[in-house]
Amino acid sequence: MSAQAAVGTIRRRRFRDLLTNPWGRPRFLWVIGIAYVVWTLVPVVTAALFSFNSTRSISIWSGFSLRWYLTDPNESVLHDPDLRHAVVQSLKLATGAVLISVPIGLGFALALDKWRGRGSGSSNFVMMFSFITPELILAVSLFLLFLNPFKVIGLGTSSQLLGLGLLAIPYAVIIVRSRLLSMGVDLEEAAMDLGASPLQALRRVTLPLLAPAIFASAAIIFAFSLDDFVMVKQLAKTGADQTVAMAIYGAARTAPSPAVNAIGTLMLVASTLVIALAYLVYRRSVRRQGAGFRADRDALPV
Amino acid sequence: MSSSDVAPRQRSIAAAPKADTGYPRWFWPSFATPAMLYLLVLFVLPFYVILSVAFGKLDPIFQTPVLVWNPLKWDPGILSFTISNITHTDGIYHAAFIRTFLYVAVSMLLCLLIGYPFAYFLARHAGRAKGLFLALFFAPFWFSYMLRMLAWIGLLQDQGSINRALENLGLIGAPYPFLAGKSWVLILGLVYGYVPYMVLPLYAGLDRIPNAHLEAARDLGASPARTFFRVTLPQTWQAILAGLIIAGLPMFGDYFTQQLLANTVGTKMIGNFIVDSLDVPIFISRGASLILVLMVILVVPIVYYLWNTTRAARARTA
């Protein structure tokens, strides 16, 4: 009886050790880690697999084919004019969002980093406020804005671009600013001590050092704008404004076909490539500069 | 590894002695002007437009909303209609409000219960595989939300893999209607959609706890459990709160998960009522008043989160 109790205690202690010992071999936590990744990624991988299905089903596998990408004469991504147009619209909006938000965000990050005057803190607060406000609230407020007072612009591609810009600017500011914080001012001050004007120091020292952060923010903004749904849908006017995310949504509600999985998979591959490229570039250049990732991350406001 | 080897390269925000030297006063503020204008016109002004619509009038002929810019002429009629329909038990928004809070609360709790152990694993135990796990963890951030939900539709359909697996195992005779307005499916959908937002601050918080703290606790004789509850957990309260806020806020504005995974009247959330009202011109001002109510509720966690992260970031870089 007492031996059994002792075994019980040991078992319980072992379980507790697995849970909490920072130096033991926590197989339990490995199970959680792997289970989490499987749970988050396997459904997406199955959805991608079914884009290669030879029949119309997105849940019963009948064999491999490229029917929904290329060969189906009416409904493949290549031949369905609506899907093709959605890809073009998504790419157009994502590129536009990068072009709008990266320069504006870069300027704001530089200003916030250097400018200690009144207004610096409060304008940062307003930006972070917009960043954390639920997207639906931002989208509806812009919908009302473009519906009535800004009727001149109206709903459609231009308002979609402006809406995405609002969502994207904080990403650029946060990424560039954390790089600025970890970079320090030593090199810039050295340049100015050696006789560079403020603009020269900015152009020849600060901006080249910021290049990886600018590139990374452009990639992240591109990838997330490509898949944005709430903002883009709310500010769309006609079918011509439909993006890939909207096409997936529409089809998922009515008649899912593997062509929709195919178009989603294409976008997924595109954004993964963009992000992977940005990561590699960022890591290489930051390592070469010596400060390292950790310093940049510590400066992130998470 | 500690912050001390990077500290000399960083400079404190409070004392930036030479940062301004050499630049004219207007130089740096001018860089902020485009962003400030952008935020003013496309973030602050639209908020005022919400107010002007919610407190505005309806066009007597077209029944479209007419904006009233002057606060002195605001008519609280529509807002009080909305509020009374939220507070009264038989109001049109009453059930949806309660449901939304319930769904979001349960989803946030589940996100925490799933996210904390995973973040703990990432921060402390992934070892050499940490880079790989981090990459896999971040992947859903750039995957399309719609594709992630479409994936679940494929799995949960009547002829989907999950139903077929359950049938083959003999657990069910006929397909289980997962997608026919089940609250728990919708909640799991929300958890699936937003759990990465929970893990992010938790991972950052856990990863910042110095190893020395844990070693000290163990050296002083604390058991692993005690170390966790007395050393690790107290240092992550802020991260937990941050995670709950940034995972919970977007759930309040979610309507598409409901439409894709449940899509019945009995599972409608506030977000659904908001977007539905925008389709009908007469109801647009009701939608604006719902947004206003939602914003008033959410402004507290938003401001708290902003205040807290600013303070924490300042403490770290100082």
The alpha carbon of residue B313 is apart from the nearest alpha carbon of chain A, in Å, by 6
CA distance A172 to A108: 9
CA distance B306 to B12: 19
CA distance B285 to A155: 18
CA distance A213 to B75: 48
Q: What is the pLDDT of residue A24?
A: 55
Which of A36, A254, A257 to probe by mutation at the B interface, max B CB count within 10 Å? A36
pLDDT, chain B, mean: 85
pLDDT in tens, B278-307: 988 888 889 999 999 999 999 999 999 988
Q: Which residues of B touch A185 (CB under 8 A)?
A: 11, 16, 18-19
**pTM for the full predicted model:** 0.86
**What is the DSSP code (8-state) at residue A156?**
S
pLDDT in tens, B77-126: 888 888 888 888 888 899 999 999 999 999 999 999 999 999 999 988 88
| Among A125, A184, A229, beta carbon nearest to B145 | A229
Q: Which of B12-16, B38-42, B101-105, B211-215 has the lowest mean pLDDT?
A: B12-16
Share of chain B above pLDDT 90, in %: 38
Q: What is the pLDDT of residue B106?
A: 96
CATH code linked to domain B92-279: 1.10.3720.10
Q: Which residues of A touch B189 (CB under 8 A)?
A: none
pLDDT in tens, B170-182: 888 888 888 888 8
Which residues make Cβ contacts (< 8 Å) with residue A90, sequence separation at least 6? Answer: A226, A243, A244, A245, A267
3-class DSSP state of B66: strand
Q: Which residues of A touch B142 (CB under 8 A)?
A: 220, 223-224, 227, 271-272, 275
The alpha carbon of residue B210 is apart from the nearest alpha carbon of chain A, in Å, by 12
| Among B24, B114, B295, beta carbon nearest to A137 | B295
Which residues make Cβ contacts (< 8 Å) with residue B293, sequence separation at least 6? Answer: B79, B82, B83, B86
Is the CB of A40 less than 8 angstroms away from the CB of B195? Answer: yes
Query: For residues A79 and A72, is the Cβ–Cβ distance under 8 A?
Result: yes
Q: What is the pLDDT of residue A2?
A: 66
Distances (CA, A) of B13 to A117, A258, B270, B307: 12, 53, 41, 16
Is the CB of B278 less than 8 angstroms away from the CB of A143? Answer: yes
User: Among B241, B224, B234, which Cα is nearest to B112's?
Assistant: B241
Which of A37, A123, A141 to probe by mutation at the B interface, max B CB count within 10 Å? A141
3-class DSSP state of B57: strand
- Quick one: average pLDDT of B138-148? 88
- Residue B19 pLDDT grade (very low, low, confident, very high; cuts 50, 70, 90): very low
- Which residue positions in chain A have pLDDT lower than 70? 1-2, 14-26, 117, 289-302
CA distance A260 to A247: 7
Domains and CATH numbers, chain A: 2-50 (no CATH), 70-298 (1.10.3720.10)
Q: Which of A218-222, B9-13, B164-168 has the lowest mean pLDDT?
A: B9-13
User: Among B25, B282, B46, which Cα is nearest to A137's?
Assistant: B46
Which runs of E-coded beta strand occur in A54-148? none
Is the CB of A162 less than 8 angstroms away from the CB of B137? Answer: no
Q: Is A56 on the interface with B (CB under 8 A)?
A: no
pLDDT in tens, B27-79: 778 888 899 999 999 999 999 999 999 888 887 777 778 888 888 888 888 88
